[in-house]
Amino acid sequence: MKDQAEKLRLKMTSLSKNNAKTIAVVSGKGGVGKSNISINIALLLNKKKKRVLLFDFDIGMGNVNIILGKQARLTLSDFLYEEATLTDVVNDTHEGFSYIAAGNGLNETIQIDERMLARLLDGLRELQQQYDYIIFDMGAGASAASLKVLLAVDDILIISTPEPTAITDAYSMMKFICLEGAAGNFFLICNRADTERQGRETLERLKQTVLKFLHKESVMLGVLPEDSHVRKAVINQTAFTTAYPNSNISVKMETIVQSYLNENNLGYKETDSFINRLRRFFFK
């Protein structure tokens, strides 16, 4: 009897424990808009009263702070060189969301060893308790460490443009992470479309190819147009949804975030699974 009560108590504790939903924003081809999309998703989720941590995981080549016009007090390199804990390198913003800057000029060949991994896991476990969403903005291609994160996250947002090269690379990336045993759900976004129809066709093609050859479902989240406001916002170091909230792309971005949240509410949120999966992928 006592055993039953103990089990129930443990179950209740784990259910009530907050665990951020983890999202990775990825692409095959570089420069398709991942960082801009990650930043604006973070801002819009924050506007919806969600607690958001944006994690720039483009180690050594980070640009989230540059696009946002912010100076990071500490960056991921301070953590990797053991000069700070992961919580220490979290920067708060006046908008309300938090971010970890990837640092610049870091030696890219830095080896993520077991000790570092253990620290990263501990840090992420702690941060998961404090946020509703952790968004990883991934660099182009996949490094050993970023691949593990990609495999372990709950949701994977794939960004492609309508260019055949971007679509092929997006598919190759999805194939690679599928074969490696990715746990997450696939969500597709087409960026820089000339028309809504062109964007839809791009997503449909990608979705059908993934279903046919990888036997995996993916959710088409939406289409973002080619819009000169993005470049203007980057030059002015402000997020486009902040600088031009009524522009076509900002309105579409809001629809995408709402669609994502609608899909999310349908889903069941496991507790602690991200960390467990990460541990398995790191130490296998």
CA–CA separation, 176 vs 206, rounded Å?
15
Which strands, in side-by-side order, build the sheet including 185-193? 91-92, 98-100, 52-57, 133-138, 21-26, 155-160, 185-193, 218-225
Regarding 22 and contact with Mg ion (CB under 5 A), the answer is no
Pairing of strands 91-92, 98-100: antiparallel
Q: Taking a C-beta distance cutoff of 8 angstroms, is the pair 225, 25 a contact?
A: no
Q: How many residues bind ligand ATP, per CB under 6 A?
A: 20
Regarding 33 and contact with ligand ATP (CB under 6 A), the answer is yes
**Residue with Cβ nearer ligand ATP (139 or 184):** 139
Binding string to ligand ATP for residues 42 to 81, with x set by CB under 6 A, is what?
----------------x-----------------------
From the list 41, 100, 149, 249, which residue makes contact with ligand ATP (rule: CB under 6 A)?
249
From the list 35, 98, 202, 250, which residue makes contact with Mg ion (rule: CB under 5 A)?
35
The listed partner (Mg ion, ligand ATP, none) that binds 224, CB under 5 to 8 Å by sort, is ligand ATP
Tokens 């696009």 appear where?
67
69 CB burial (10 A radius; 0-12, 13-18, 19+): exposed
Residues 211-230 close enough to bind ligand ATP by CB under 6 A: 224, 226-227, 230
CA-closest candidate to residue 188, choices 172, 171, 212: 171
**Considering the complex, what minimum distance in angstroms separates the CB of residue 214 from ligand ATP?**
22
Residue ranges that bind ligand ATP, judged by CB under 6 A: 27, 30-36, 58, 139-140, 191-192, 224, 226-227, 230-231, 234, 249
